[in-house]
Amino acid sequence: MTLQQGDTAEDFELLAHDGKPITLSSYKNSKNVVLCFYPKNHLFACPSKKVFEMAKSVISVYPEITATDTVVFAISVDSVDSQADFVKEYEIPYVHLSDQKKTACKKYAGTNITGLAKRSTFVIDKNGIIQDVMRDINVASHGQEILDSLKKIKV
């Protein structure tokens, strides 16, 4: 059973694309957190294009997202090196996390038959409560959907 809206966000520590460890609980009582789970950076077919479209959508409203006292993390089963390459290639301003052991992916997004994270986004408030879960994602408008969700949080 994956985490749902209203649940307390379960803590994890994953390596960022720069190799530094990121612990979810370190943001409690200070920042809202958006976790964007996605299958993989580069796949053979269209999903990698979807990843880039989703990134572009989030980047387009990134200053407004951060203005809501929020950090954004993109999470997949890719290696730290793959995450670093992806962030550099597409000039992505937010942190990508590597979950090669699939611990956070399984708890939050769930995994598909091939073991990749299911595309989903979790909006977590400063108290560590999941305020919104988005599973049916329109990659083109996703950044705005995240921003709209954040604006509903009463701090």
Active-site amino acid positions: 46
Asked if residues 93 and 17 have their Cβ atoms less than 8 Å apart, the reply is no
At 33, list the tokens.
């957190």
Q: CA of 3: how far to CAs of 121, 122, 127, 130, 154, in Å?
A: 11, 9, 16, 8, 21
Q: Report the alpha-carbon angle 122-29-152, nearest 5.
A: 45
- Could you tell me how far CA 116 lies from the centroid of its own chain? 14
| Nearest-angstrom CA–CA distance, 3 and 122 | 9
Q: Is the dihedral of CA 131, 134, 139, 144 positive or negative?
A: negative
